[in-house]
Structure 1
Protein backbone atom coordinates (compact mmCIF):
# COMPACT_ATOMS: atom_id res chain seq x y z
CA UNK A 1 0.00 0.00 0.00
CA UNK A 2 2.62 2.62 1.02
CA UNK A 3 6.00 0.98 0.43
CA UNK A 4 7.05 3.80 -1.95
CA UNK A 5 7.68 5.90 1.23
CA UNK A 6 10.53 3.70 2.44
CA UNK A 7 13.23 6.42 2.25
CA UNK A 8 11.02 8.95 4.04
CA UNK A 9 10.47 6.52 6.90
CA UNK A 10 13.97 5.15 7.45
CA UNK A 11 14.70 4.97 11.19
CA UNK A 12 17.69 6.83 12.59
CA UNK A 13 20.60 4.48 13.27
CA UNK A 14 22.81 4.84 16.34
CA UNK A 15 26.48 4.33 15.49
CA UNK A 16 27.79 1.10 17.01
CA UNK A 17 24.38 -0.08 18.31
CA UNK A 18 23.66 -3.74 17.70
CA UNK A 19 20.35 -5.42 18.41
CA UNK A 20 20.80 -8.06 21.09
CA UNK A 21 20.26 -11.76 20.63
CA UNK A 22 16.60 -12.78 20.56
CA UNK A 23 15.38 -14.49 23.70
CA UNK A 24 12.05 -15.99 24.66
CA UNK A 25 10.06 -14.55 27.53
CA UNK A 26 11.07 -17.50 29.72
CA UNK A 27 14.77 -17.00 28.84
CA UNK A 28 14.52 -13.34 29.92
CA UNK A 29 12.85 -14.35 33.18
CA UNK A 30 15.60 -16.89 33.94
CA UNK A 31 18.47 -14.65 32.79
CA UNK A 32 21.05 -13.80 35.49
CA UNK A 33 18.69 -13.96 38.45
CA UNK A 34 21.45 -12.65 40.76
CA UNK A 35 22.16 -9.52 38.68
CA UNK A 36 20.47 -6.60 40.52
CA UNK A 37 20.68 -4.18 37.57
CA UNK A 38 19.20 -6.74 35.18
CA UNK A 39 16.47 -7.60 37.69
CA UNK A 40 15.56 -3.88 37.97
CA UNK A 41 15.37 -3.69 34.13
CA UNK A 42 13.17 -6.79 34.00
CA UNK A 43 10.94 -5.33 36.72
CA UNK A 44 10.66 -2.02 34.84
CA UNK A 45 9.35 -3.96 31.84
CA UNK A 46 7.03 -6.01 34.04
CA UNK A 47 8.64 -9.26 32.91
CA UNK A 48 7.90 -11.17 36.08
CA UNK A 49 4.23 -10.31 36.61
CA UNK A 50 0.98 -11.75 35.30
CA UNK A 51 0.27 -14.26 32.56
CA UNK A 52 1.10 -13.08 29.04
CA UNK A 53 -1.85 -12.68 26.69
CA UNK A 54 -1.78 -13.55 23.01
CA UNK A 55 -0.93 -16.71 21.14
CA UNK A 56 2.42 -17.46 19.43
CA UNK A 57 0.88 -16.82 16.00
CA UNK A 58 -0.56 -13.42 17.00
CA UNK A 59 1.34 -10.32 15.83
CA UNK A 60 3.97 -9.23 18.35
CA UNK A 61 2.48 -5.72 18.55
CA UNK A 62 -1.03 -4.50 17.73
CA UNK A 63 -1.66 -0.75 17.48
CA UNK A 64 -5.22 -0.47 18.81
CA UNK A 65 -5.96 3.25 18.57
CA UNK A 66 -4.52 6.67 17.84
CA UNK A 67 -5.76 10.01 19.13
CA UNK A 68 -5.01 13.64 18.34
CA UNK A 69 -5.07 15.41 21.72
CA UNK A 70 -5.51 19.21 21.80
CA UNK A 71 -5.95 21.05 25.12
CA UNK A 72 -9.49 22.40 25.50
CA UNK A 73 -10.90 20.34 22.60
CA UNK A 74 -12.36 16.85 22.38
CA UNK A 75 -9.81 14.21 21.35
CA UNK A 76 -10.00 12.98 17.77
CA UNK A 77 -9.76 9.20 18.25
CA UNK A 78 -9.34 6.50 15.65
CA UNK A 79 -10.16 2.92 16.57
CA UNK A 80 -7.66 1.02 14.41
CA UNK A 81 -9.28 -2.32 15.18
CA UNK A 82 -12.38 -1.28 13.17
CA UNK A 83 -12.53 -2.77 9.67
CA UNK A 84 -11.12 -0.36 7.07
CA UNK A 85 -10.12 2.27 9.66
CA UNK A 86 -6.48 2.50 8.50
CA UNK A 87 -7.37 2.49 4.80
CA UNK A 88 -9.78 5.41 5.16
CA UNK A 89 -7.41 7.77 7.03
CA UNK A 90 -5.87 9.23 3.87
CA UNK A 91 -9.26 10.35 2.57
CA UNK A 92 -10.56 11.82 5.85
CA UNK A 93 -8.23 14.69 6.77
CA UNK A 94 -7.98 16.02 10.31
CA UNK A 95 -8.50 19.75 10.68
CA UNK A 96 -5.94 21.52 12.86
CA UNK A 97 -6.03 25.21 13.73
CA UNK A 98 -2.82 27.04 12.80
CA UNK A 99 -0.55 27.52 15.81
CA UNK A 100 -2.50 25.00 17.94
CA UNK A 101 -0.58 22.82 20.35
CA UNK A 102 -1.33 19.10 20.14
CA UNK A 103 0.13 15.67 20.68
CA UNK A 104 -0.57 12.11 19.60
CA UNK A 105 -1.64 9.36 21.98
CA UNK A 106 -1.32 5.70 21.00
CA UNK A 107 -2.78 2.59 22.67
CA UNK A 108 -1.11 -0.70 21.78
CA UNK A 109 -0.87 -4.29 22.91
CA UNK A 110 2.24 -6.48 23.04
CA UNK A 111 1.70 -10.22 22.64
CA UNK A 112 3.77 -13.22 23.80
CA UNK A 113 7.28 -11.72 23.31
CA UNK A 114 9.37 -8.74 24.49
CA UNK A 115 9.04 -5.80 22.10
CA UNK A 116 12.37 -3.99 21.86
CA UNK A 117 12.81 -0.37 20.79
CA UNK A 118 9.38 0.51 19.40
CA UNK A 119 9.55 3.77 17.41
CA UNK A 120 7.03 5.97 15.63
CA UNK A 121 8.26 7.59 12.42
CA UNK A 122 6.28 10.12 10.40
CA UNK A 123 7.00 12.02 7.20
CA UNK A 124 4.79 14.95 6.16
CA UNK A 125 4.56 16.28 2.60
CA UNK A 126 2.86 19.27 1.06
CA UNK A 127 2.35 19.35 -2.69
CA UNK A 128 4.70 16.36 -2.99
CA UNK A 129 7.62 17.99 -1.12
CA UNK A 130 8.65 16.64 2.29
CA UNK A 131 8.27 19.40 4.90
CA UNK A 132 9.04 17.38 8.03
CA UNK A 133 10.17 14.04 9.38
CA UNK A 134 9.67 13.10 13.02
CA UNK A 135 10.79 10.09 15.00
CA UNK A 136 9.61 9.28 18.51
CA UNK A 137 11.12 6.46 20.60
CA UNK A 138 8.36 4.70 22.53
CA UNK A 139 10.61 2.18 24.30
CA UNK A 140 10.73 -1.53 25.06
CA UNK A 141 7.80 -3.47 26.49
CA UNK A 142 7.06 -6.83 28.03
CA UNK A 143 4.06 -8.76 26.73
CA UNK A 144 0.76 -7.52 28.10
CA UNK A 145 -0.73 -9.69 30.78
CA UNK A 146 -4.18 -10.22 32.16
CA UNK A 147 -3.19 -7.59 34.77
CA UNK A 148 -2.35 -4.97 32.10
CA UNK A 149 -4.28 -5.36 28.86
CA UNK A 150 -2.60 -2.58 26.86
CA UNK A 151 -0.05 0.23 26.95
CA UNK A 152 -0.74 3.93 26.41
CA UNK A 153 1.97 6.32 25.27
CA UNK A 154 1.61 10.08 24.77
CA UNK A 155 4.04 11.70 22.34
CA UNK A 156 5.84 15.00 22.76
CA UNK A 157 3.75 18.13 22.22
CA UNK A 158 3.91 19.77 18.80
CA UNK A 159 2.71 23.10 17.46
CA UNK A 160 0.95 23.39 14.12
CA UNK A 161 2.55 25.84 11.70
CA UNK A 162 0.81 29.19 11.33
CA UNK A 163 0.45 31.95 8.78
CA UNK A 164 -1.14 32.16 5.38
CA UNK A 165 1.60 30.11 3.70
CA UNK A 166 1.25 27.29 6.22
CA UNK A 167 -2.49 26.87 5.67
CA UNK A 168 -3.57 24.09 3.36
CA UNK A 169 -3.58 20.34 2.83
CA UNK A 170 -0.79 18.01 3.99
CA UNK A 171 -0.24 14.29 3.39
CA UNK A 172 1.57 12.12 5.88
CA UNK A 173 2.79 8.56 6.13
CA UNK A 174 3.58 6.96 9.47
CA UNK A 175 4.88 3.69 10.76
CA UNK A 176 5.54 1.88 14.01
CA UNK A 177 8.78 -0.12 13.78
CA UNK A 178 10.98 -1.94 16.31
CA UNK A 179 14.73 -2.53 16.74
CA UNK A 180 14.47 -5.60 14.48
CA UNK A 181 13.16 -3.29 11.72
CA UNK A 182 9.84 -5.11 11.82
CA UNK A 183 7.03 -2.75 10.80
CA UNK A 184 3.98 -3.21 13.02
CA UNK A 185 1.77 -0.63 11.29
CA UNK A 186 2.27 1.51 8.18
CA UNK A 187 -0.41 3.96 7.10
CA UNK A 188 -1.10 7.13 5.13
CA UNK A 189 -3.20 9.97 6.51
CA UNK A 190 -3.82 13.64 5.84
CA UNK A 191 -4.63 16.89 7.63
CA UNK A 192 -5.56 20.46 6.83
CA UNK A 193 -4.06 23.47 8.59
CA UNK A 194 -6.83 26.07 8.78
CA UNK A 195 -7.32 29.57 10.21
CA UNK A 196 -9.80 28.16 12.74
CA UNK A 197 -11.26 24.88 13.89
Structure 2
Protein backbone atom coordinates (compact mmCIF):
# COMPACT_ATOMS: atom_id res chain seq x y z
CA UNK A 1 0.00 0.00 0.00
CA UNK A 2 1.46 3.35 -1.02
CA UNK A 3 1.69 6.25 1.43
CA UNK A 4 -0.99 8.09 -0.58
CA UNK A 5 -3.38 5.13 -0.29
CA UNK A 6 -2.43 4.71 3.36
CA UNK A 7 -3.46 8.31 4.04
CA UNK A 8 -6.64 8.47 1.95
CA UNK A 9 -10.04 8.91 3.61
CA UNK A 10 -12.39 5.96 3.53
CA UNK A 11 -15.34 6.18 1.19
CA UNK A 12 -18.92 5.33 2.12
CA UNK A 13 -20.67 3.27 -0.54
CA UNK A 14 -23.63 5.14 -2.00
CA UNK A 15 -22.68 8.51 -0.45
CA UNK A 16 -22.66 11.31 -3.00
CA UNK A 17 -21.22 14.71 -2.20
CA UNK A 18 -23.82 17.40 -2.86
CA UNK A 19 -23.39 20.19 -5.33
CA UNK A 20 -21.16 23.00 -4.04
CA UNK A 21 -23.12 26.16 -3.21
CA UNK A 22 -22.16 29.65 -2.10
CA UNK A 23 -23.03 30.97 1.33
CA UNK A 24 -25.84 33.12 -0.12
CA UNK A 25 -27.24 30.15 -2.06
CA UNK A 26 -27.38 28.11 1.17
CA UNK A 27 -29.08 30.97 3.04
CA UNK A 28 -31.80 31.32 0.38
CA UNK A 29 -32.24 27.59 -0.31
CA UNK A 30 -35.85 26.41 0.22
CA UNK A 31 -36.67 29.11 2.77
CA UNK A 32 -40.00 27.42 3.64
CA UNK A 33 -38.53 23.97 4.40
CA UNK A 34 -38.53 23.69 8.20
CA UNK A 35 -36.03 20.82 8.49
CA UNK A 36 -33.67 22.50 6.03
CA UNK A 37 -33.93 25.74 8.00
CA UNK A 38 -32.94 23.85 11.18
CA UNK A 39 -29.93 22.40 9.36
CA UNK A 40 -28.92 25.86 8.10
CA UNK A 41 -29.28 27.23 11.63
CA UNK A 42 -27.02 24.42 12.95
CA UNK A 43 -24.38 25.62 10.48
CA UNK A 44 -24.76 29.16 11.80
CA UNK A 45 -26.09 30.49 8.49
CA UNK A 46 -28.63 32.69 10.31
CA UNK A 47 -25.74 34.75 11.75
CA UNK A 48 -23.59 37.24 9.94
CA UNK A 49 -20.55 35.57 8.45
CA UNK A 50 -17.41 35.34 10.50
CA UNK A 51 -14.10 37.04 9.92
CA UNK A 52 -12.27 36.79 6.63
CA UNK A 53 -8.86 37.98 7.80
CA UNK A 54 -7.18 34.85 6.45
CA UNK A 55 -7.40 33.41 2.92
CA UNK A 56 -7.96 29.88 4.31
CA UNK A 57 -11.54 28.58 4.67
CA UNK A 58 -10.58 26.33 7.59
CA UNK A 59 -8.10 27.73 10.10
CA UNK A 60 -6.97 25.00 12.50
CA UNK A 61 -5.85 26.83 15.61
CA UNK A 62 -4.75 23.88 17.72
CA UNK A 63 -5.12 20.22 18.47
CA UNK A 64 -4.73 19.01 22.04
CA UNK A 65 -4.28 15.75 23.90
CA UNK A 66 -6.72 15.73 26.82
CA UNK A 67 -6.00 13.43 29.78
CA UNK A 68 -8.12 13.55 32.94
CA UNK A 69 -6.25 15.15 35.85
CA UNK A 70 -3.43 16.57 33.69
CA UNK A 71 -2.94 19.79 31.75
CA UNK A 72 -3.65 19.36 28.03
CA UNK A 73 -0.72 18.82 25.67
CA UNK A 74 -1.49 21.56 23.12
CA UNK A 75 -0.07 21.61 19.60
CA UNK A 76 -0.33 25.09 18.07
CA UNK A 77 -1.15 24.68 14.37
CA UNK A 78 -2.17 28.26 13.60
CA UNK A 79 0.87 29.33 11.55
CA UNK A 80 3.58 27.79 9.35
CA UNK A 81 6.15 28.53 12.06
CA UNK A 82 4.01 26.75 14.66
CA UNK A 83 3.70 23.71 12.35
CA UNK A 84 7.49 23.55 12.02
CA UNK A 85 7.80 23.69 15.81
CA UNK A 86 5.30 20.83 16.23
CA UNK A 87 7.22 18.76 13.69
CA UNK A 88 10.46 19.17 15.65
CA UNK A 89 9.09 18.81 19.20
CA UNK A 90 7.98 15.30 20.19
CA UNK A 91 5.92 14.93 23.36
CA UNK A 92 5.41 12.07 25.83
CA UNK A 93 2.30 9.94 26.37
CA UNK A 94 2.21 7.63 29.38
CA UNK A 95 1.50 4.03 28.34
CA UNK A 96 -2.03 2.75 29.00
CA UNK A 97 -3.50 6.19 29.72
CA UNK A 98 -6.99 7.11 28.49
CA UNK A 99 -6.95 10.23 26.34
CA UNK A 100 -8.88 12.07 23.70
CA UNK A 101 -7.90 14.54 21.03
CA UNK A 102 -9.75 17.82 20.71
CA UNK A 103 -9.42 20.37 17.95
CA UNK A 104 -10.12 24.10 17.93
CA UNK A 105 -10.73 25.72 14.54
CA UNK A 106 -12.37 28.62 12.70
CA UNK A 107 -14.39 28.55 9.49
CA UNK A 108 -14.18 31.57 7.19
CA UNK A 109 -15.65 32.68 3.85
CA UNK A 110 -17.88 29.68 3.08
CA UNK A 111 -19.60 26.55 4.40
CA UNK A 112 -17.28 23.56 4.82
CA UNK A 113 -19.07 20.24 4.39
CA UNK A 114 -17.86 16.93 5.80
CA UNK A 115 -14.69 18.11 7.54
CA UNK A 116 -12.65 15.06 8.62
CA UNK A 117 -9.46 14.46 10.58
CA UNK A 118 -7.12 11.77 9.25
CA UNK A 119 -4.07 10.46 11.07
CA UNK A 120 -1.58 7.71 10.29
CA UNK A 121 0.87 6.62 12.99
CA UNK A 122 4.01 4.66 12.13
CA UNK A 123 6.70 3.06 14.20
CA UNK A 124 9.98 2.22 12.50
CA UNK A 125 8.30 2.91 9.16
CA UNK A 126 5.42 0.45 9.68
CA UNK A 127 1.84 1.69 10.04
CA UNK A 128 0.52 0.84 13.50
CA UNK A 129 -2.64 2.97 13.55
CA UNK A 130 -4.98 4.89 11.28
CA UNK A 131 -7.59 7.28 12.68
CA UNK A 132 -10.41 8.89 10.76
CA UNK A 133 -12.69 11.18 12.74
CA UNK A 134 -15.68 13.02 11.24
CA UNK A 135 -15.75 16.60 12.49
CA UNK A 136 -18.87 17.70 10.59
CA UNK A 137 -20.18 20.56 8.46
CA UNK A 138 -19.79 24.16 9.60
CA UNK A 139 -20.56 27.68 8.46
CA UNK A 140 -18.40 30.77 8.94
CA UNK A 141 -18.33 32.07 12.49
CA UNK A 142 -16.31 34.66 14.40
CA UNK A 143 -16.04 32.31 17.41
CA UNK A 144 -13.83 29.19 17.10
CA UNK A 145 -15.45 25.78 17.12
CA UNK A 146 -14.16 22.95 19.32
CA UNK A 147 -14.66 19.26 18.63
CA UNK A 148 -13.71 16.47 21.05
CA UNK A 149 -12.87 13.07 19.59
CA UNK A 150 -13.67 9.62 20.97
CA UNK A 151 -11.84 8.45 24.10
CA UNK A 152 -8.87 6.19 23.29
CA UNK A 153 -6.28 4.26 25.25
CA UNK A 154 -2.54 4.50 24.63
CA UNK A 155 -0.86 1.13 24.05
CA UNK A 156 1.07 -0.29 26.98
CA UNK A 157 3.79 -2.79 27.71
CA UNK A 158 7.46 -2.99 26.90
CA UNK A 159 6.87 -3.57 23.17
CA UNK A 160 4.60 -0.51 22.88
CA UNK A 161 7.11 1.89 24.43
CA UNK A 162 9.16 3.91 22.00
CA UNK A 163 9.12 6.63 19.36
CA UNK A 164 6.22 7.09 16.92
CA UNK A 165 5.92 9.27 13.82
CA UNK A 166 2.51 10.63 12.83
CA UNK A 167 1.09 12.42 9.83
CA UNK A 168 -2.23 14.24 10.13
CA UNK A 169 -4.51 16.27 7.92
CA UNK A 170 -7.92 17.89 7.80
CA UNK A 171 -9.86 17.24 4.60
CA UNK A 172 -13.46 17.90 3.51
CA UNK A 173 -16.07 16.30 1.23
CA UNK A 174 -14.64 18.24 -1.73
CA UNK A 175 -11.27 16.53 -1.09
CA UNK A 176 -9.74 19.88 -0.20
CA UNK A 177 -6.87 19.41 2.25
CA UNK A 178 -6.97 22.33 4.69
CA UNK A 179 -3.83 21.49 6.65
CA UNK A 180 -1.34 18.61 6.68
CA UNK A 181 1.57 18.16 9.06
CA UNK A 182 4.02 15.66 10.55
CA UNK A 183 4.62 15.25 14.25
CA UNK A 184 5.95 12.67 16.70
CA UNK A 185 5.51 11.36 20.21
CA UNK A 186 7.08 8.89 22.60
CA UNK A 187 5.17 6.32 24.63
CA UNK A 188 6.94 5.87 27.97
CA UNK A 189 6.36 4.09 31.27
CA UNK A 190 5.69 7.47 32.89
CA UNK A 191 5.12 11.07 31.82
CA UNK A 192 8.88 11.96 31.87
TMscore range, shorter length: over 0.9
| Count, aligned residues | 190
Give the Å deviation of 1:51.
3.5
Structure 1 CA distance, aligned partners of 2:48 and 2:61? 21
* Aligned: 1:114 with 2:108: no
Choose from 154, 168, 179 the match for 2:173.
179
* Aligned: 1:132 with 2:152: no
Do the aligned partners of 2:170 and 2:178 also contact (CA within 8 Å) in 1?
Answer: yes
Structure 1 gap segments, 5+ residues each: none
What do residues 117-148 of structure 1 show as CA deviations (whole Å, max 9, x unaligned)? 00000000011100110100000001114xxx
What do residues 14-67 of structure 1 show as CA deviations (whole Å, max 9, x unaligned)? 112111111111111100011111111111111111343216x71111101111
* Aligned: 1:58 with 2:52: no
Structure 2 CA distance, aligned partners of 1:74 and 1:176? 25
Aligned pairs (5 A) from 1:66-145: 66-145=63-142
Structure 2 gap segments, 5+ residues each: none
What is the aligned partner in structure 2 of residue 194 from structure 1? 188
What is the aligned partner in structure 1 of residue 145 from structure 2? 151
User: After alignment, is 111-120 or 57-66 more displaced?
Assistant: 57-66
Structure 2 CA distance, aligned partners of 1:141 and 1:74? 28
Structure 2 CA distance, aligned partners of 1:89 and 1:79? 7
- Runs of 4+ residues over 4 Å off in structure 1: none
Choose from 34, 56, 61 the match for 1:36.
34
Give the Å deviation of 1:82.
4.6
